[in-house]
């Protein structure tokens, strides 16, 4: 379980904080989306939850312990972060990359063993890219690489999974495939899933819960269909839009911008 | 283990033994064999046991240290073009040598080279930390600054000293194993052991470190501690190697590249193979250096002369699956 308590974060020397007085609790088995426009503080919040950045006030609790007090190793046993695809300096195989998820579980002087390799293989199978195990991580498609990073997070075997814009560089088909897979795995394994998104329609499709951010504050925290409305979209994105329903699904359709 | 890997591990031994049969002092193969421990030929014994054998071992240790350090720093700094001298070891050691030869003839040059090499890296580390920001980039920048400063000081010493001393400095800077003896072997062996063992023990973490600080931390790596450990280990190994053999370039950059192209970048395999490959390459280069012509060619020249075209060839051939 992840609990964020009255968290405020700002960059050193910056006049205004990036995140202000944020609080929420995440339950296992749910996919929660941090939704908001560019610069609303989504990624900052994700970094604070992951423990990479320290908030000026408030705290983040992972299973009851303050994330700031945990060692990198203990943190990595409790939550796995799927970063944005940012390029790799070396041509590791997909298998080697996924095996790195075993980092927090291998002893300080140790090397990954047979059990770790099995878990990496299972993780590859779970996301459906076992056939790519021997391929060069730099020479597979963006969607496949994103799935490899998800597999690495699964190999980490943590109760919580954080994803930073997991499909921002993917085409339509891959977006849907990656997202559906993340949602299914999260539900099957009872993971606490938190991901940032900037597209409200994707949040409507895949999230159980939406935290809507604007200027570093949470302005809505609810089921997607309640959090994402004509008025909140206008307030947060500054875009006049209609909510349409089609086949039981809701869609945000922007009106022409003036 | 693949055949390639086995060959790379065996190479230093094979080349090292072969090197014993090559040299300026003409010895028949049977004399060399007779001179090996257990043999009885006195004249051959002193050539083989006191000259060729320590020289081969020293070259092997130097090559292993430089290539292992190169492979490690390339991962730590996430850049396949990094060499073991990135943080200023070579310019620091050069200044130590220049000051020793020029002004402090009563102090051993290896000691001064070692201390100044360590000092240069310490200065780089302090400067890089002080600048803050992205640790890795500021560290590389600090290395450039420190190298420039020390190189300028070396040049200053060069114009101040007499031609004879200038010549000694220049020769030392080109790198050579010609003064090898068993004491040097002991020094280089100690430095290699202290430096290479932690690199080998923690080598899997190099994979994670090479992904960047945040990602490595997310995978449970204590980034600051690990980076310090690797930088300290590579500094010890490389500074010791440089102190007894001068600045031999190319090996630390090239060998890790060749190994990655042969067997992939996973450091569980590529680090030990780089160490073995570095030893093999350096022994071969040194054997060429002392046998090509009637006088000694500095081994640094051989590594560059042989290495650059070889490297270019491999690069062209492997372009389709270029794996830096």
Per DSSP, the residues of B44-64 read HHHHIIIIIHHHHHHHHHHHH
Q: Do A90 and B323 touch (CB under 8 A)?
A: yes
Which residue, chain included where needed, has tokens 């999974």? A161
pLDDT at B13: 83
Total residues found in chain B within this entry: 324
Mean per-residue pLDDT, A227-244: 88
Q: Do A89 and B214 touch (CB under 8 A)?
A: no
Mean per-residue pLDDT, A32-37: 92
Structure tokens at B3: 């055949």
Strands A160-163 and A192-197: parallel
Measured distance CA(A17)–CA(A252) in Å, rounded:
30
Q: Do A72 and B78 touch (CB under 8 A)?
A: no
Maximum alpha-carbon separation in chain B: 64
pLDDT at A118: 96
Residue of B nearest to A101 (CA): B219
Q: Where are the alpha helices (DSSP H) in A79-157?
A: 94-99, 114-127, 142-155
Q: Do A52 and B268 touch (CB under 8 A)?
A: no
DSSP conformational letter for B201: H
Q: Using beta carbons and an 8 Å cutoff, which residues of A are at the interface with B?
A: 47, 50-52, 71-73, 75-77, 80-81, 83, 86, 88-93, 96, 100-101, 103-106, 109-112, 136, 152, 156
Asked if B263 is an interface residue toward chain A (Cβ–Cβ < 8 A), one would say: no
pLDDT at B134: 61
Structure tokens at B218: 């997310």
Which residue, chain included where needed, has tokens 């992840």? A2
Average pLDDT of chain A is 90
pLDDT at B95: 93
Asked if B265 is an interface residue toward chain A (Cβ–Cβ < 8 A), one would say: yes
Residues of B in contact with A106 (CB under 8 A): 204
Residue of B nearest to A107 (CA): B202
Cα dist from A257 to A141, A191, B12, whole Å: 34, 40, 71
**Are the C-beta atoms of residues A132 and A141 closer than 8 Å to each other?**
no
SS3 sequence, B21-35?
CCCCCCCCHHHHHHH
Q: Do B210 and A136 touch (CB under 8 A)?
A: no
Residues of A in contact with B218 (CB under 8 A): 50, 52, 76, 80-81, 83
Structure tokens at B225: 């501690």
pLDDT at B308: 82
Of B85, B239, B110, B254, residue with least CA distance to B172: B110
Of A212, A196, A227, residue with least CA distance to A48: A196
**Min CA distance, B324 vs chain A (Å)?**
6
Which residues in B183-195 are b (16+ Cβ under 10 Å) and which e? Answer: ebbebbbebbeeb
Annotate A7-24 with DSSP letters as a single string: EEE--TT-SS-SEEEEEE
Structure tokens at B23: 């040299």
Q: Do A136 and B323 touch (CB under 8 A)?
A: yes
ipTM of model: 0.90
**Min CA distance, A70 vs chain B (Å)?**
11
pLDDT higher than threshold 80 for residue A82: yes
How big is chain B by its Cα radius of gyration, in Å? Answer: 20
Residues of B in contact with A71 (CB under 8 A): 222
Q: How open is the CA angle B34-B36-B38, to the nearest 5 degrees?
A: 80
Residues of B in contact with A92 (CB under 8 A): 207, 264-266
Q: Do A156 and B205 touch (CB under 8 A)?
A: no
Asked if B150 is an interface residue toward chain A (Cβ–Cβ < 8 A), one would say: no
End-to-end CA distance of chain A: 44
Please report, for chain A, the start and end positions of each structural domain, with discontinuous segments joined by +: 2-90+159-254
Which residue, chain included where needed, has tokens 């002092």? B25
**Min CA distance, A161 vs chain B (Å)?**
11
Residues of B in contact with A88 (CB under 8 A): 210-211
Residues of A in contact with B223 (CB under 8 A): 72
- In this complex, the residue of A71, A89, A103 whose CB is nearest that of residue B78 is A89
Residues 303 to 322 of B: which have CB under 8 A from any A CB?
321
Structure tokens at B107: 């102090």
The CATH classification number of B83-248 equals 1.10.3470.10
Residue of B nearest to A111 (CA): B204
Measured distance CA(B303)–CA(B297) in Å, rounded:
11
Measured distance CA(B118)–CA(B89) in Å, rounded:
7
Asked if B197 is an interface residue toward chain A (Cβ–Cβ < 8 A), one would say: no
Which CATH class, in words, describes the domain spanning A2-90+159-254?
alpha beta
- In this complex, the residue of A75, A96, A156 whose CB is nearest that of residue B207 is A96
Name the 3-class secondary structure at B131.
helix
Q: Which residues of chain B have pLDDT under 70?
A: 1, 24-25, 34-42, 131-134, 317-324
pLDDT higher than threshold 50 for residue A198: yes
pLDDT at A183: 87
End-to-end CA distance of chain B: 21
**Min CA distance, B161 vs chain A (Å)?**
45
pLDDT at B256: 93
Annotate B212-271 with DSSP letters as a single string: -HHHHHHTT--HHHHHHHHHHHHHHHHHHHHHHH----SHHHHHHHHHHHHH-S-HHHHH
Taken in order B136, B253, B147, B123, the sign of the CA dihedral is: positive
Mean per-residue pLDDT, A203-231: 90
Q: Do A101 and B217 touch (CB under 8 A)?
A: no
Residues of B in contact with A54 (CB under 8 A): none
Residue of A nearest to B81 (CA): A89
Measured distance CA(B91)–CA(B108) in Å, rounded:
18
Measured distance CA(A98)–CA(A145) in Å, rounded:
11
């Amino acid at each position: 379980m992840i609990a964020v308590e009255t968290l405020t974060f700002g960059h050193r020397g910056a006049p205004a904080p990036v995140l202000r007085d944020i609080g929420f609790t995440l339950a296992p088995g749910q996919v929660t989306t941090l939704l908001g426009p560019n610069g609303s503080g989504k990624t900052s919040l994700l970094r604070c939850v992951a423990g990479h950045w320290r908030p000026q006030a408030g705290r983040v609790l992972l299973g009851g312990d303050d994330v700031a007090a945990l060692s990198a190793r203990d943190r990595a046993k409790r939550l796995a972060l799927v970063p944005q695809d940012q390029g790799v300096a070396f041509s590791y195989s997909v298998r080697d990359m996924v095996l790195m998820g075993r980092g927090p579980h291998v002893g300080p002087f140790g090397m990954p063993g047979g059990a770790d390799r099995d878990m990496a293989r299972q993780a590859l199978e779970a996301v459906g890219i076992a056939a790519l195990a021997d391929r060069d991580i730099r020479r597979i498609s963006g969607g496949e690489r994103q799935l490899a990073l998800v597999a690495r997070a699964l190999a980490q075997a943590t109760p919580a999974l954080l994803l930073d814009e997991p499909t921002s560089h993917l085409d339509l088909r891959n977006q849907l495939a990656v997202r559906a897979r993340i949602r299914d795995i999260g539900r099957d394994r009872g993971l606490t899933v938190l991901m940032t998104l900037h597209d409200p329609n994707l949040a409507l499709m895949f999230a159980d819960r939406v935290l809507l951010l604007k200027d570093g504050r949470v302005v809505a925290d609810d089921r997607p269909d309640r959090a994402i409305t004509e008025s909140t979209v206008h307030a947060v994105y500054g875009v006049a839009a209609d909510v349409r329903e089609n086949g039981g699904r809701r869609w945000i359709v922007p009106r022409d911008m003036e | 283990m693949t055949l390639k890997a086995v060959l790379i591990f065996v190479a230093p031994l094979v080349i090292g033994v072969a090197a014993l049969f090559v040299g300026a002092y003409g010895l028949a193969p049977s004399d060399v064999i007779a001179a090996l421990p257990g043999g009885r030929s006195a004249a051959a014994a002193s050539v083989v046991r006191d000259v060729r054998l320590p020289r081969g071992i020293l070259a092997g240790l130097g090559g292993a240290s430089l290539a292992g350090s190169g492979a490690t720093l390339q991962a730590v700094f996430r850049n396949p073009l990094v060499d073991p001298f990135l943080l200023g070891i070579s310019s620091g050691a050069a200044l130590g040598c220049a000051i020793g030869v020029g002004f402090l003839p009563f102090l051993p040059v290896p000691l001064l080279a070692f201390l100044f090499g360590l000092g240069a890296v310490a200065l780089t580390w302090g400067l890089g930390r002080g600048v803050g920001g992205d640790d890795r980039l500021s560290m590389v920048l600090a290395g450039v600054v420190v190298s420039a400063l020390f190189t300028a000081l070396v040049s200053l010493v060069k114009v101040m000293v007499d031609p004879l001393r200038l010549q000694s400095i220049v020769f030392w800077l080109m790198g050579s194993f010609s003064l090898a003896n068993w004491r040097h072997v002991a020094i280089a062996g100690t430095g290699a052991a202290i430096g290479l063992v932690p690199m080998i023990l923690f080598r899997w973490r190099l994979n994670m470190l090479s992904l960047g600080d945040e990602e490595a931390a997310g995978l449970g790596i204590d980034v600051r501690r690990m980076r310090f450990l690797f930088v300290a280990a590579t500094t010890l190994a490389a500074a010791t190697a440089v102190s007894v053999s001068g600045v031999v370039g190319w090996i630390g950059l090239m060998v890790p590249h060749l190994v990655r192209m042969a067997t992939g970048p996973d450091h569980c395999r590529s680090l030990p193979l780089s160490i073995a490959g570095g030893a093999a390459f350096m022994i071969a280069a040194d054997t060429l250096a002392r046998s090509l012509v009637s006088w000694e060619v500095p081994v640094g020249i051989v590594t560059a002369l042989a290495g650059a075209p070889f490297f270019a060839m491999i690069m062209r051939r492997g372009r389709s699956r270029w794996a830096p």
